[in-house]
Amino acid sequence: MKKIIISGGGTGGHIYPAVAIANELKAIDSTNEILFVGAEGKMEMEKVPKAGYKIIGLPIAGINRSNMLANLGLPIKLIKSLWKTYRVIKDFKPDVAIGVGGYASGPTLIMANFLGVPTLIQEQNSFAGVTNKFVAKKAQKICVAYPNMEQFFPKEKIVMTGNPVRKDILETASKREQAFKHFGLDPERKTLLVIGGSQGARTINEAIFAGLNDLISNDLQVIWQTGKLFIDKAKQAVESLQTQRVFVSDFIYEMDLAYAAADLVVSRAGALSVSELCLAEKPSILVPLPTAAEDHQTQNAMSLVNVKAAWLVKDAEARDILVDDVIKLADNKAEMQQLSQNIKTLAKPNAGKEIASEVLKIINGQ
């Protein structure tokens, strides 16, 4: 039995890989004991227990850039978090600590290093986060999903593993018929999937809302995930068009079926979304979130665009050109095939297993 701490979170893009790594470690040896450390009030405190793991919350928070006065308490929160992590590590006695990015991983890996516990970092993005850059100096291994990460991390520590994603996305080809039944759409018609992350993406939503009629008149049908804030407006638009060719929902749980039905995809360029698109082999138009830290979504998108594996539309231009670009791509069969072939070469289907293997190598002193 090995004891492993996994720390980080804040967004689904951090939490899902963390849970996937935990699942792989359990699959290798069911006696492995795993403890998560997250940030109080963040989504990991709900999602991790749902996945069947214990989690301890730290009173840590990020920098509030819109209200600098709110940051006055940050040093106290950091000290409290370090002290709590010290007690957790002393009690749990882990063989290794894994950081996946997010507020909680900083104090956890700092204290693990202080107490002589070996550490591994999993960096999901093509542009490394502040926390991971800081704790990388003492990490034994750094698992990455993109090339050229030696600009952020020591080259000898980097292992190219990719990002762990949901296993059901690997088996979409056999689910096409089931997918069209589920969404109530026509299997003979080209299908556009629109996803903006779990919260939705306002710019993408507004562009699709304005161009819905054009998409329909160009013989496309749409699966549209809007997020909670836009769902009512989207439903009204679909009702007023009186069409059966748009499936709209605030959140799609059956993403394997959504990818199975899709011929092309419009998406933000979060690390996890990009990894899923590679595995699903879908021609994609990426609209990076411009406010993402260090503009990392644009960096993620460009890693595909530079090898002709996706198209990019800037957020500021999406309302004007996104729908036109969707129609243009849908009409170009050769370009869609090219994008699909190129994105497929970037897929890393065994990422979770490879990261778990690196974790065990550290524990075994390899």
Does the annotation place 13 within a ligand binding site? yes
Give kind and range of the element (H or E) at residue 366. none
Does the annotation place 244 within a ligand binding site? no
Does the annotation place 115 within a ligand binding site? no
Does the annotation place 285 within a ligand binding site? no
Does the annotation place 268 within a ligand binding site? no
Residue 164 corresponds to which amino acid? P
Does the annotation place 298 within a ligand binding site? no
Does the annotation place 121 within a ligand binding site? no
Long-range (24+ apart) CB contacts under 8 A made by 25-30 are 25/356, 25/359, 25/360, 27/356, 28/356, 28/360, 29/1, 29/2
Non-local CB neighbours of 127 within 8 Å, separated by 6+ positions: 152, 294, 295, 296, 299, 300
CA 335 to CA 353: how far, in whole Å? 33
DSSP 8-state assignment for residue 52:
T
Structure tokens that stand for 39 in this block? 């940030």
DSSP 8-state assignment for residue 69:
G
Does the annotation place 313 within a ligand binding site? no
Does the annotation place 12 within a ligand binding site? yes
Does the annotation place 319 within a ligand binding site? no
Does the annotation place 69 within a ligand binding site? no
Does the annotation place 272 within a ligand binding site? yes
CA 295 to CA 120: how far, in whole Å? 24
Contact 276, 169 (CB under 8 A): yes
* Binding-site residue positions: 11-13, 125, 166, 198, 252, 271-276, 297
* Binding-site residue positions for UDP-N-acetyl-alpha-D-glucosamine: 11-13, 125, 166, 198, 252, 271-276, 297
